Chains A and B, each alone.
Chain A
Amino acid sequence: MRLPDSVTGSFLVALGAASAYGGYILPPVPGQPVGPNVFPLVIGIGLALCGLAIVFGIGHSFEEEEELIPLEDGQTAAAPLQQGKLYGLRALLPPALLLFYVIAADRLGFIITAALMVYVTSTALGAKWKLALPLAALSPFAIHLIFGKLLRVPLPAGLLPTPW
């Protein structure tokens, strides 16, 4: 997800301008010179200026290229070979699973939702079913025991209530 500086910089300019405008249209406190509008205005302008500086590449020379630890010989990374077009999208899996939890937890219950999440994450990271299945079956109960039972977080029961 490495985007060119011009893209991220322009985005910041737009965001800064939007927040400055958003702050500007906020209603002022009657009889006072400053209210809730000042801070977003200042930040928005600052953000837009930073964005402009980034677009023009100011400060780029300070950036250190990420140091990749060279692997020892014979261990050359095999990962780039299997990179398809959609490979980069795998990174979006964790947040997608969290949103799935938000939608499904109340209906399916904590145990089932959590088991699905664990299974998918584990498989996506390259686990065989021999590891992923037992992990998905056991870890939700362990987490439920700690958070639901000991710390009394009201986790949804849904279709499958826990034995305790």
Chain B
Amino acid sequence: MLKTLIEAFALISTWEVIIAMFAASVYGLVIGSLPGLSATMATALLVPVTFYLSPIAAIATIVAASSMAIFSGDIPGALLRIPGTPASAAYADEAYAMTRKGQAELALGAGVWFSAVGGIAGVLSLMILAPPLAEVALSFSTYEYFWLALLGLMCATLVARSSPVKAIAGMFLGLLVSCIGIENPGGVPRFTFGLTDLFGGIEPIPALVGVFAVAQVMRAMLTPEPPPLPRRKFGSIMAGQWKLTKKYHWQMTRGNIVGIIIGVLPGAGADMAAWVSYAMSKRFSKEPEKFGTGHVEGLVEAGASNNASIASGWVPSLLFGIPGDTIAAIAIGVLYMKGLNPGPTLFTEKASSMYAIYLMFIIANIMMIPLGIAMIRIAAYILLAPRSAIMPIIMLCCAVGSFAIGNNMFGVVTVAAFGVIGYVMEANGYPVAAMVLGIVMGTMVEQAFVTSLIKSDGSILPFFERPVAAILAAMAIGALLWPVMVWAWRKVKPVRTAVATSR
């Protein structure tokens, strides 16, 4: 234990890792603070760069950039009422109301402080949960993996803030995309239409970049530019945070726990954690009437929650290769590329690398405090940069980055195509996150499914015979039927309330 910890320290205390982490932090802070550029997009654009780094440095950049971007999305949310990342959308109104009351420092300080605390709570959960779960996971067969993957996909559709039917359709689209290529049980070209470029299948990373970055540039073409940020002088940012911590320690803990749980659930990420925690904070608050008028309580809970979910989202990713959210989906791609294939054995064979990941998360969250304060102070200048200067650079990065992944032009075509697909899907209410998870997990789902079917000689029964598999199956099927039950409940409910009022 101590020996691996020392090894882990040695792994991260190289110049390459330190510089990569610092640069990625600054990058994450800047991208996260720009409205319209989300944390997922920041991470996706970073992937081509990670190709050229050592494994630990590559993961360090992902960890640092994603944690920072989730926090810095709070900055334009508080100052402009435009959330920088979707994860900050839940409480942007509240934070802006505080700014108007002259409490911008308190709002932003709470953002920094409770984000850092939440992030560290998330890492602790990763450290505590992952090893025992790995023990359990060692005994999993393909049946369990199949149901687990299905459960992950179903969770992604459940939490989408859209029609569950459309979310499931998006998931199927993603799975269909993953069918392309010759990497299938028969090794035959499937849906390649004779194009050799398609033989290798669709790489998840260019697809992600297209869906999250190019689609965003496309949307920017049609939406008006956000207003510039008024310049202001900030007082002390951390003042009063300790008092808040003591006053709202219960809310903070609850936010952390909710964030961790939502992070561990496959498919549900930071934005969902923030929405749930904000709603929960309002529901259980002693002074719910203050919410919406610039009350810090909801900010504390939701800020603690969305950052906690970032780290705990790595639990299913590292253990099963099932991403906890879209950022983790990108991280899985990087892990595979760097020879750290996700799976329960990772914790025994590459223990020092795992400890290095924990350490990097902790360091990133500690670094967030000074860097975050600096970022808040210079945010007014960064947000001066007009969209017409940033978006072209994003476009260039998309083109070059997707080319760099395989050093072929087909990657660029993929990015363009998925930009259009992502744009059309988003415009019509199909959640793209569900499709992304489908693409990332498709091969795994198919492998588990087909191997299981071969083992069982085409029979469905063995899928339910092992106890763990049966439980997971019940959960997955329950998740599938849940929207139907809610729908039925809503049909019944108006009748009931009508009866109640008539009495």
Contact = CB atoms under 8 A, between A and B. Distances in A.
Contact of B393 (A2, A36, A39, A118): A118
A96 B395 CA distance: 11
A7 B412 CA distance: 29
Contact of B395 (A23, A35, A79, A97): A97
A2 B453 CA distance: 41
A63 interface: yes
Contact of B416 (A32, A95, A105, A151): A95
B254 interface: no
Interface residues of B, number: 80
A28 B428 CA distance: 37
B388 interface: yes
A29 B166 CA distance: 34
B416 A125 contact: no
Nearest to A63: B163
Contacts of B417: 95
A62 B49 CA distance: 39
B458 interface: yes
B449 A39 contact: yes
Which residue, A59, A77, A117, A143, has most C-beta atoms of chain B within 10 A? A59
A93 interface: yes
A135 B392 contact: yes
Interface in B446-466: 446, 449-450, 453-454, 457-458
A43 interface: yes
A8 interface: yes
Interface in B172-204: 172-173, 175-176, 179, 184-188, 190-191
A91 B391 CA distance: 13
Nearest to A128: B388
Contacts of A69: 81-82
Interface in A141-161: 143, 147, 150-155
Given A12-B169, A54-B169, A139-B396, A43 B176 contact: yes
Which residue, B164, B393, B400, B453, has most C-beta atoms of chain A within 10 A? B400
A151 B423 contact: no
Contact of A99 (B161, B169, B413): B413
B225 interface: yes
Nearest to B411: A102
Interface string A55-84: 000111111100001000001011100000
A19 B392 contact: no
Nearest to B50: A151
Contacts of B229: none
Interface residues of A, number: 87
A33 interface: yes
Name the prevailing secondary structure of the A interface residues: helix
Contacts of B172: 16, 43, 46-47, 50
Contacts of B185: 29, 34-36
A120 B142 CA distance: 51
Given A38-B450, A125-B387, A131-B386, A75 B416 contact: no
A50 B165 contact: yes
A95 B218 contact: yes
Contacts of A44: 176
B474 interface: no
Given A1-B423, A78-B224, A91-B218, A8 B430 contact: yes
A98 B418 CA distance: 12
Interface string A4-19: 0100100010011001
Which residue, B413, B416, B446, has most C-beta atoms of chain A within 10 A? B416
A124 B221 contact: yes
Contact of A54 (B82, B166, B407, B413): B166
Contacts of B388: 121-123, 125-127, 131-132
Contact of A117 (B51, B392, B420): B392
Contact of A143 (B176, B223, B397, B430): B397
B453 A33 contact: yes
Contacts of B416: 94-96, 98-99, 102
26 contacts: A1-B427, A1-B428, A32-B454, A34-B450, A34-B458, A38-B453, A39-B449, A39-B450, A47-B169, A54-B169, A59-B164, A69-B82, A79-B224, A91-B221, A94-B218, A94-B419, A95-B420, A98-B214, A98-B395, A99-B412, A119-B392, A122-B388, A126-B225, A136-B392, A143-B400, A147-B400
Interface of B: 48-49, 51-52, 81-82, 161-166, 168-169, 172-173, 175-176, 179, 184-188, 190-191, 214, 217-225, 227, 386-389, 391-393, 395-401, 403-404, 407, 409, 412-413, 415-417, 419-420, 423-424, 427-430, 445-446, 449-450, 453-454, 457-458, 483, 486-487, 490
Interface of A: 1-3, 5, 8, 12, 15-16, 19, 22-23, 26-29, 32-40, 42-44, 46-47, 50-51, 53-54, 58-64, 69, 75, 77-79, 87-88, 90-99, 101-102, 105-106, 110, 114, 117-119, 121-127, 131-132, 135-136, 139-140, 143, 147, 150-155
Across the A-B interface, the 4 shortest Cβ-Cβ residue pairs: A127-B388, A59-B165, A36-B186, A125-B388
